Amino acid sequence: MRTAIVHYWLLKRRGGEQVLDAIADLLPQADLVSHVVDPSLLVGPLSGRTVRTTFISRLPFARTHYPLYLPLMPLALEMLDATPYDLIVSSEAGPAKWVIPRPDAHHVCYCHSPLRYIWDQKQIYLSRFKGPLRLAAEAYASRLRASDVVSSLRVDTFVANSSFVAQRIWKYYRREARVVHPPVEVDRFTVAPAPDDYYLLAGENRRYKRAEVAVRTCAELGRRLVVVGGGDWSALKAVAGPRTEFRGRVSDDAWRDALAKCRALLFPGVEDFGIVPVEVLASGRPVIALGRGGVLDVVEPGETGVVYDDPSVEGMKRAILAFEAEEGAFRPELCVARAQRFSPDVFRRQFAACLPPGASDRADAALQGPNGGDSPRSPGMGEA
């Protein structure tokens, strides 16, 4: 099969690009299609293959100001000539699945998330616009939602990165999806002999991650909190307690050390999946998480962490106190065993089962491993 992997943009190395690498490893002969590509990132499984970009890459400042061109990206993909391809695998978090395949071609969409800024997180993203700009943004989002639903009809097989995303695919597109969790390099983390006395808040500071809840909670409880990750933390420093430490971005070694020595990860936001909780479990440490979103696929309450329902500061307070009452019952080996469910080998086997037969020799070989083809389905019509 002649194959194309369509990825929204390749400008940074994050969780979506880890998935892209794993898909590319299964499809070594596939062309790579993207709106904008930084050539320095074409390494490992992405190296040495044909790369095609849409007209977005030829627009001014495309690499640095690509969000300005979001309204044009669906059109750019629809203009792409996809007739040479028998198989299209799209990686959707930004516009990717709008490609128009041949009638006899097969389209598999790995959906990290339906476009957040036009669906369930629209109010968060559009709140930055005021007055006439807000009206224009709302009008654009309305048109893009209609186009998004139409593009979903061109997909033959949806694959979601969590049960939460699968539910959203059903809600917005009325399509069932298989659930294949993203690959996490769990074996690069190690377990510390004993934890330190701090809680950990980790990741980029984004509004939907609700970091303020964790910062205020630890301040009011007088608990030590270590904050690791990029972004602007100035507003949170103003409400932080004296025992809160903001470390910013850190080296890989410092990242692993912070995960391995924390009492627990605090996870107050709602994420599509959440790679950081898996990395913490791989380090033998539990997670205290709001019981919404993709983290419900990761944390086993009472065994590898605490899940709570109230998103407020008071809700997290109660969760932390409940954790501390049973802290000794959380065993590192159970956390590590849970994390192994999200290894790259598991991803390769499960994603290979979503591809049509003969997609590649490597995909076929992945299916020969233990549990090959194990790919649970999401809730859909008539299912709980």
Q: Model confidence over 20-62: pLDDT tens digits? A: 999 999 999 999 999 999 999 999 999 999 999 999 999 999 9
Task: Name the pTM for this structure.
Answer: 0.89
What is the average pLDDT across 2-31? 94
What is the average pLDDT across 344-370? 87
Do residues 60 and 94 share a domain? Answer: yes
* CA 58 distance to own-chain centroid: 28
Give the chain's length: 384
Do residues 71 and 32 share a domain? Answer: yes
Please check whether residue 24 lies inside any domain of the structure: yes
Please check whether residue 361 lies inside any domain of the structure: yes
Whether the per-residue pLDDT at 382 is higher than 60: the answer is no
Residue ranges in the chain assigned as alpha helix (H): 15-26, 73-79, 122-126, 132-152, 163-173, 211-221, 234-237, 252-261, 275-282, 313-325, 332-339, 344-352, 361-366
Please check whether residue 382 lies inside any domain of the structure: no
Q: 223-263 pLDDT, tens per residue?
A: 999 999 988 899 999 999 999 999 999 999 999 999 999 99
Closest among 209, 202, 306, 204 to 261, alpha carbons compared: 202
User: Mean of the per-residue pLDDT values for the chain?
Assistant: 92
Range of the domain at 53: 3-183+343-366
Q: 164-175 pLDDT, tens per residue?
A: 999 999 999 999
How confident is residue 124, by pLDDT bands cut at 50, 70 and 90?
confident
Give me the CATH number covering residue 106: 3.40.50.2000
Do residues 348 and 336 share a domain? Answer: no
Contacts of 126 (CB under 8 A, 6+ apart): 117, 134, 137, 138, 141
Please check whether residue 287 lies inside any domain of the structure: yes
In which residue are the tokens 């932390």 written? 320
Alpha-carbon distance of 352 to 358, in angstroms, equals: 10
Do residues 172 and 302 share a domain? Answer: no
Q: What pLDDT is attached to residue 323? A: 97
Please check whether residue 379 lies inside any domain of the structure: no
Do residues 357 and 239 share a domain? Answer: no
Q: What pLDDT is attached to residue 369? A: 64
Whether the per-residue pLDDT at 221 is higher than 70: the answer is yes
What is the average pLDDT across 318-322? 98
- Name the domain count of the chain: 2
Do residues 241 and 321 share a domain? Answer: yes
